[in-house]
Each structure stands twice: as structure tokens, then as C-alpha cells.
Amino acid sequence: MTDKNLSQLPPVNAVLNSLTKYGINFQMYDNVRVEPTDHSFLDAIKYAKKGEFDAYVAVGGGSVIDTCKAANLYASSPTSDFLDYVNAPIGKGKPVTVPLKPLIAVPTTAGTGSETTGVAIFDFKELKIKTGIASRAIKPTLGIIDPLHTLSMPERIVANSGFDVLCHALESYTALPYNMRSPCPSNPINRPAYQGSNPISDVWALHALRIVAKYLKRAIRNPEDREARASMHLASAFAGIGFGNAGVHLCHGMSYPISGLVKNYKPKDYNVDHSLVPHGLSVVLTSPAVFAFTAQIHPERHLEAAEILGADIRTARIKDAGFILADTLRKFLFDLNVDDGLAAIGYSKADIPALVKGTLPQERVTKLSPRPQTEEDLSALFEASMKLY
Amino acid sequence: MTDKNLSQLPPVNAVLNSLTKYGINFQMYDNVRVEPTDHSFLDAIKYAKKGEFDAYVAVGGGSVIDTCKAANLYASSPTSDFLDYVNAPIGKGKPVTVPLKPLIAVPTTAGTGSETTGVAIFDFKELKIKTGIASRAIKPTLGIIDPLHTLSMPERIVANSGFDVLCHALESYTALPYNMRSPCPSNPINRPAYQGSNPISDVWALHALRIVAKYLKRAIRNPEDREARASMHLASAFAGIGFGNAGVHLCHGMSYPISGLVKNYKPKDYNVDHSLVPHGLSVVLTSPAVFAFTAQIHPERHLEAAEILGADIRTARIKDAGFILADTLRKFLFDLNVDDGLAAIGYSKADIPALVKGTLPQERVTKLSPRPQTEEDLSALFEASMKLY
């Protein structure tokens, strides 16, 4: 499974050659949509059901890997309705109890970490919102993280996927702690894939954040910098192990309507025929506002993150942690030529009610914010993200 | 499965009460030997074969968990000869291809990390050496790391098991890198459980080392220090995830004859009727000599470890990395009242040939030393470890 752009490129060729060499009978599906929708998921599911495959190989970014997870799930549970496994409250969020087929994920971008997680995200067209399927059962069996696959990524794809890693690390490190979630699920099978920050996810979040701080700018600016690109590819998987277990919160929760309500934005370096806000960009644009908002709960973690990203915190006051992290992020994004806020990608104040409305159903992640938020809070966060610099 | 000391204590009671409460039919085996032997493994295996159990729960330190792994393995592979799965060259080191039953490990010490690894170590009585079984297949299904279980550990058990964590972290961080092992196995099924240091094991090794540096002394000195004991309990599992994948090298390779050839040493705080050198002590006593020897290969990693353990390296020269780490370790051990070298636990120069001979078959780990070693090198390392201070 891959997409049309990748189907002619070396990462896919390597897989096809290997399957052929070892006499493994296969079919290729290359109709994955970048930033997938319910329709594109259903098309892949139909293909998988018909093929009755013994195993799957997904070669691509998060869109491909997520689509393959969904195809594997519904082909393994053929009588299920599509909404059965979609996150509540949009879908029914049923636990997965059927066995799935093995899925080998070969990521070609350095951002999503999808090869390590039990999450598959898509645009629900009718509702104009992004949602997903979240279950440990759909986690790939194996990830093959080959840094050579990232050497051909265009500049903006490196940047936007790197911003996803940055937010995975920051959000999972500041997420509600695992022992503060409530209510407890009545049975372990009902535990969410996202459990809250914990001593193990913290290790991965901090480690990934240190790599982002050291290598993201180099990886964006110099496509020949193998050390930087390989390090970011690993950081993507490392952050994935962390957030795939701890979860993300407001940047991701608010990103889904930012992507879902896209107007005419056509990002540089993306070879697609439809408007889209790349996932990493939709996530990072609200990050200064979000961390200024959440810092009052775990200020020391926010300050630690700012320090890792280069802030001098020797004379910082703990109560300024949020502003310091927000300023550090603004500087980081400015240096990397990121669009100047939501206004620069086509939104205005008039869109805020719709953006808030699209965030409200994202409870799976917004509930993991360390600070609870009202609709007014969400409005203020979108407004503060209209312009960054 | 547990040992006689633990069978009356809260960690075992908690499990028995839970099994009873939920109506699960069970039998208890409490005949595990602390520092197990081939005979004690075989006794547990016989019990497991007869019981035809659906699942196992191991409650105890590394001795209990390792014995339970072996019982599960041979009960699941009833026609195998005991030597079939024992590490080569002592046994046949066959790959495990049979499915095992679920094993839940509940560690009550903070050292072995056995709940996270695919390794089971025992004393081979006839040969007077320690060896083991190593396969990802015997890794427990689940570990339950309850810090309350460590609050009743006596002082020396905290110390010795903590030294095991220290050496797991230091050895796995300095082990031969995964891409420098040779020759490559002809088939992935023949890959060793210990793969060499790698970007993922490095994360765990460094993280565990930082916890040891911060908390081990507090955990030893104050049994009421819950934060310290809980942190060391997690560090044990974290270091286990690292070394269970990367491996250990000379401290562990040399520790097996140090334990196996024990004379009359009876350690404080161990309630057993036989002489024994606790595993963690047998490992740590050679650590200053070992890291002085290996530092020339990755001096910057040795220096980084010394800094984490408290050394001031601002003016250090890279070529002194080994001496600096060795001195840091000696100071660390002196502060914790560790016996003054191998002489203090009953060995003399005359024992060195036997200690070397007992190390030679430990290729599974000694081959992971970043610096290859001759018999003369091993002799010199044992000699340098006779007296530490």
C-alpha cells in the first residue's frame, strides 16, 4: 500500500524487488490519498476485503500507514460498520477484539510516528472534521525505519513533518498524567490508546525533543545532511512511542478543524490536486498559544522544554514558563519560515466559531490537556494563533 | 511461583488474594532457589510439566522470574533436552519455536530487570559456572512494577540489586554497537537476544544511569524513602529494556565464575542456608577495572557516564576517560560500604586461572565487549579487582 507519488520512487521499488526476489505473491494498492478521508479509507478497505491478504506492507507517510491500518482492521472484521471503530463521540469507539493480519510499516517521512502507534486519522467529509480510529490492535507489527528514505523529502515536507514530531513530544510531555485521568474504565479492554503522560512516555518525549532541538533546522536546510535527516527519522519514531502511549492534547485537537475546514491553501512542495493544510503545520501554528495556556499546570515541564529548545532559563521565573516556551516556539518557527499564523493560511476571526465547533468532538485528545478548557478558552486560543510574529 | 522467604510476605499474598477473589484455580510453587542452579531449574520444570498450567505468575527477584521463564519454556517444549536451549557453547543454544504460555512477572527487587528480558541465568553445578538461556520467546508477557514491593527490602539487597542496575546501564551503553557485530546470523531466527548497543537501548541505559546516580544512595540508606525506592524499581525495568536488547559485557561475563566458584562468603541480609555472592555484587566488583580497560574504544561514552555519576569532567582529557570512570565508581562503591574487592569475598591470586577459565565460555556476553580480550587481559582484570580502595 502506498500513494501515487511514492509508487515510482526508491522506497516502494525496494519493497517490490524484495517481495519478488523472495517469491511472495502480492498486489499493490497506490490509491492512498494524502490527508485521507472516510471515502479514501473506504476505497482501501474495499480493496483489502476483496484481496483477502495474509499480510500488509505500508510504504509512505502517515497517510499511507494510517490507511493501511484501517484497511487491515475492517478486512479482519468484515461485518463491522465503518462507524463501529471510529472514535466516540463521532463513531462508536468499540474495542477491537478480532485478530488483525501482520502489518509492516516503512515510513518515508519523519513526522507522524504512525509506524509506532495504534491510531489512524482521516477527514470525515460530511462533518468537515478530522477524526480517527484508536486501538492498540491496529499498531503495526514491525516498523522499518530506513533513513535513506527521507533523503528525497522536499524542504517543506521535512519542516511540516518535523513540526509534528515537535508537538508530539511537547504535548505528550505536558499531557494530563496517567494517574489523573477519570473516570477509570470499567474494564481494561475499554482503556483508551492514549493513557496520559507517564514515566515511560516521558523518556521518549524528552529524548525526541532533544533530537528536534539539535537536528530539525539542519534537516530542513540541508537535504544532504544525512546525520540530521536520519536523526529526525528516529526522533519521529521515538516521539511516536511516547505519544502513542501518552497521547497528545490541544495542538492536535485544534489541528483537526484547521485541516478539515481548509479553504484554498496549497502548500509548497506538496504534489497534490486538492487544497490542504499539512498536518504538522496545522498542529504547530497553535503551539505558542496552547503552551502559554497550559503552563500554569506543570510550569516546570514547560520551562524544561523551553530550555531544551534553546531558551536561557537561568533567571526565568516559574510563573513565566508559558510565555517563555511560547516565545521560544515563535522564534523557532520564524527561523524556519513558517506561515505567520492561521490568517496566513486563509482563516479569519469569522471562522473561529466553526474552528471551535470542530474541536469540541476531539475529546479523545482535548481531555488530555492538563488544563480543562471552555469554548471561550478555545476561541481565545484560535484568536491568539491568527498571527504569530 | 516464588521462593520460601517471599511466600509469607505481602507481594505473594496480594497475588494469592487476587487469584482467589476472581475464582482462578492455581497452585503455588515456592521452592525457587536464590541464585538458581540447573537442579533447582529442573525441579521447577518438573512441577510445571506436571501441572499443565495455562499461565504463570512469578513473584520475586531475578531468581524467581528466571526460574519461571525456564519452567514455562520446558513445559511448553516437553520433549526438549535441558541443554537444547542453554546458551552455546555450554548448551546447544537452539532457537525457540514453540509458543509459550503467558507469564506475568512481579519483581520484588530493584535490580535484575528480569521482567523485561528474554534471559534466565542459573549455576551449572557440574561445571561450576553460571550460564543461562537467552531468547526473546521467554520474555514475560507483562511486568507489574509495584514500588510498594521494594519497601521491605533489606539494605544490602537494595545495594546489590542496585549495582546490577548500574552495571546493566554502563555495560549496555558501552557494548559493541549493533552494526559492528559479526558474523551476521544466516537467518533472523538465529539473532542473539543481545544485539549490541543501539539508538534505542542507549536511551534506556542513559535514563537508568541518571536515576541510579540520583537515587541509589538514598534508596539504600533510607528504607522509608519511597521516592528513591520507587525510582530505583523503575530504573531496574528501564535498564532491563536497554540491556535486554543491547546486552551486557565484561562485568557480567566475569561475574558468573565469581558467583559460581563461591567459597564461604555469606552476605549480610540474605536469608539463605548456602554460601553465595549476590549477583549484583559479583558484577560491580570488577567494574572499575573493566571500564578502565574498555574506555579506549568509546572514551566519550565512558566520560559521559562518569559525569552522570558525579565526576567533574570540565578539565578532563579524553584519554583519561577510563581512569576517571573507574575512580568515580570506586568512590561510589566506597561510600556504600562495598566489600574491598574480590579478596574481601574470599578470592586470592591463586584463583585467577579458574576465574578466567569460567569466563571463557561466556561468549554470549564477552563478545559484546567493545574491546576484544585475551586470557591475559582477563587475568589482569581479575587481578586489578582483588582490592578496590
Q: Is the pLDDT of residue B128 over 80?
A: no
Specify whether the CB–CB gap between A282 and A258 falls below 8 A: yes
CA torsion, points A336, A342, A346, A349, in degrees to nearest 10? -160
User: What residue ranges do the domains of chain B occupy?
Assistant: 6-144, 155-384
The whole-number pLDDT of residue A386 equals 98
Strand, coil or helix: what is A37?
Answer: strand
pLDDT single digits (tens) A166-200: 999 999 999 999 999 888 888 877 788 889 999 99
* CA A156 to chain CA mean position, Å: 16
Q: What is the mean pLDDT of residues A358-370?
A: 92
Specify whether the CB–CB gap between B157 and B350 falls below 8 A: no
The whole-number pLDDT of residue A147 equals 87
Q: Is the pLDDT of residue B238 over 80?
A: yes
Convert A252-275 to b/e letters by CB count within 10 Å (16 or more is b). bbbbbbbbbbbeebebeebeeeee
Nearest CA in chain B to A200: B238
Q: What is the mean pLDDT of residues A249-272?
A: 92
Chain A touched by B215 (CB under 8 Å): no
Q: What is the mean pLDDT of residues A125-136?
A: 86
The whole-number pLDDT of residue B229 equals 95
The whole-number pLDDT of residue B375 equals 97
Best CA proximity match to B200, nearest among B136, B141, B244: B244
Q: How far apart are CA B274 and CA A52, in angstroms?
A: 60
Q: Is the pLDDT of residue A287 over 90?
A: yes
Same fold, B6-144 and B155-384: no
Contacts of B238 in chain A (CB under 8 A): 203
Q: What percent of chain B has pLDDT over 90?
A: 84
Q: How far apart are CA B37 and CA B362, in angstroms?
A: 16
Strand, coil or helix: what is A315?
Answer: coil
Contacts of residue A109, defined as CB under 8 A and 6 or more positions apart, other chains included, come to A60, A61, A62, A150, A153, A157, A161, A236
The whole-number pLDDT of residue A183 equals 82
Tally of residues, chain B = 389
Judged on CB neighbours under 10 Å (0-12, 13-18, 19+), B30 is middle
Q: What percent of chain B has pLDDT over 70?
A: 100
Residue type, B115: E
- What is the rounded radius of gyration, in angstroms, for the C-alpha atoms of chain B? 20
B119-124 and B103-107 as β-strands: parallel, antiparallel, unpaired?
unpaired
Nearest CA in chain B to A204: B203
**Please, which residues 218-247 of chain B have a Cβ atom closer than 8 Å to chain A?**
234, 238
Q: What is the mean pLDDT of residues B153-178?
A: 95
Q: Given an 8 Å threshold on Cβ–Cβ distance, is A238 in contact with B203?
A: yes
Q: Terminus-to-terminus CA distance in chain B, angstroms?
A: 40
Q: Tell whether domain A154-384 is in CATH 2.60.200.20.
A: no
Contacts of residue B38, defined as CB under 8 A and 6 or more positions apart, other chains included, come to B82, B122, B123, B124, B125, B126
Q: What percent of chain A has pLDDT over 90?
A: 84
Cα B358–B364–B366 angle (5° rounding)? 65
pLDDT single digits (tens) B275-285: 999 999 999 99
Q: Please, which pLDDT band fits residue B129 given cuts at 50, 70 and 90?
A: confident
* CA A182 to chain CA mean position, Å: 24
* Largest separation between any pair of C-alpha atoms in chain B: 64
pLDDT single digits (tens) B42-64: 999 999 999 999 999 999 999 99
Q: Is the pLDDT of residue B153 over 90?
A: no
Q: Please, which pLDDT band fits residue A236 given cuts at 50, 70 and 90?
A: very high
Contacts of A207 in chain B (CB under 8 A): 203, 207
- Decide which of A377 and A90 is more confident: A377
Q: Is the pLDDT of residue A148 over 80?
A: yes
Name residue B133's beta-bridge partners.
Answer: B86, B120
**A370: distance to nearest CA of chain B, Å?**
23
CATH of B6-144, one of 3.40.605.10, 3.40.50.720, 3.40.190.100, 3.40.50.1970: 3.40.50.1970
pLDDT single digits (tens) B78-123: 999 999 999 888 899 999 999 999 999 999 988 889 999 999 999 8
Q: Is the pLDDT of residue B189 over 80?
A: no
Q: How far apart are CA A155 and CA A220, in angstroms?
A: 5
Q: Please, which pLDDT band fits residue B190 given cuts at 50, 70 and 90?
A: confident
Nearest CA in chain B to A241: B200
Q: How far apart are CA B346 and CA B327, in angstroms?
A: 23
Nearest CA in chain B to A210: B203
Q: Is the pLDDT of residue A103 over 80?
A: yes
**A203: distance to nearest CA of chain B, Å?**
7
Between the alpha carbon of residue B125 and those of residues A140, B35, B39, B301, the distances in Å are 44, 12, 8, 37
pLDDT single digits (tens) A320-352: 999 999 999 999 999 999 999 999 999 999 999
Q: Is the pLDDT of residue A128 over 80?
A: no
Q: How far apart are CA A339 and CA A284, in angstroms?
A: 10
**B278: distance to nearest CA of chain A, Å?**
29
Name residue B120's beta-bridge partners.
Answer: B133
Best CA proximity match to B134, nearest among B46, B48, B66, B38: B66
Specify whether the CB–CB gap between B379 and B352 falls below 8 A: yes
Between the alpha carbon of residue A357 and those of residues A253, A351, B90, B361, the distances in Å are 11, 10, 67, 67
- Which of B199, B204, B234 lies at the smallest CB-CB distance from A234? B199
Q: What is the mean pLDDT of residues B332-354?
A: 96
The whole-number pLDDT of residue A364 equals 84
Tally of residues, chain A = 389
Specify whether the CB–CB gap between A380 and A356 falls below 8 A: no
Q: Is the pLDDT of residue A88 over 90?
A: no
Specify whether the CB–CB gap between B164 and B139 falls below 8 A: no
Fold of B155-384: Dehydroquinate synthase-like, alpha domain (1.20.1090)
Q: Please, which pLDDT band fits residue B360 given cuts at 50, 70 and 90?
A: very high
